[in-house]
Amino acid sequence: MNVTHKYAGILTAVPTPLTSDLQVDTRPLSAHVRRMVEAGSRGIVPLGGTGEYTSLSFDQRLSVVEASLEAASGATAVIPGILSPGIGDAIDNAKAFVRAGAKALMVVTPYYFRPTQDGIVEYFERFSNEVDADIILYEIPYRTGVSLNFQTVDRLAGLTRVVGIKACNPDLAQQMRVAELAASKIAILTGEEDVMPLHVAMGAVGAVITSSNLLPRQWDRVLELGLAGKLQESIALHATLRPLIDAVFAEPNPAPMKAAMDFLGWGMGCDVLPPMKQASAKIKERIAQVLPPLRDRE
């Protein structure tokens, strides 16, 4: 495992469990964070897209962060997501999460406004000046409509508290340019479990993904093989995970992931917040077919 970067390894994006009346239920969340710690997780990422950040109130978000930090008890990094579209809400949430004990935050590129690259740099400079925490950039242009130019990533690595990037840009040429310029400065973390071995071959030292909730040790092994230069072995192991990857992303995340965790009896429930819908019966049946043999290997 690469230890040069502080946040290398598999960082798991965890769902937010809800009660039947759609309130946050921190008890199964705490139990799951402890489960991930026992499995050797290098980090927990609550409140990303998987954690339904944009659908939760401020108080609900804070309760998720507090429960995650308490359950992790310092045994692994807890890196809450900040998916706010604008600077005011982003900073308010970030400061509250830091007061609760978070040392690092995953911060999405500002969206809705379709900012220029200079505007993005100024945004993260201000965030960095006002929030005392490490920053992992979160680039996901197919959700936000905002891409980070590779020179912009390099600038942010030099000007701000940015220590990593969750890269969900499907443009592989862009990913290569980011790695060429910035891999020695920040941790390149893929957010695309579909192609993780390729991103590792290009310079990624870890990942922020969600199916590692279910198969943490196997994802660790995919990464370890890639980092050791055993690309074909990494690809071969990754291919065995493909049926599960396809199932949990066949419908909008995190509904299928919650269904998979509910199938395992982890008390997370299947409910998601509007406008999301629960996973369909078809997807639940598909998960019930593909997940057990993979769990047997854990």
Q: Which residues are annotated as catalytic?
A: 138, 166
Q: Are 279 and 259 in contact (CB under 8 A)?
A: yes
132: which 2 tokens?
């005392």
- Strand pairing of 104-108 and 81-82? parallel
16 marked as part of a ligand binding site: no
Determine if residue 50 is labeled as part of a ligand binding site.
yes
Cis previous bond, 254, omega within 30: yes
For 31-48, b/e burial (b = at least 16 CB within 10 A) is ebbeebbebebbbbbbbb
Eight-state DSSP code of residue 105: E
SS3 214: coil
Our CA dihedral for 48, 49, 50, 54, rounded to 10 degrees, sits at: 90
Tokens of 34: 């402890």
Tell me how far apart the 2 most distant CA atoms of the chain are, in Å. 49
Question: How many C-alpha atoms does 68 have within 13 Å on its Cβ side?
Answer: 32
Q: How far apart are CA 108 and CA 138, in angstroms?
A: 4
Q: What is the spatial distance between Cα 77 and Cα 200, in angstroms, rounded to a whole number?
A: 21
| CB 77 within 8 Å of CB 90 | no
DSSP class of 164: E
CA nearest neighbour of 1 among 239, 161, 207, 139: 207
Q: Which residues are annotated as a binding site for pyruvate?
A: 50, 208
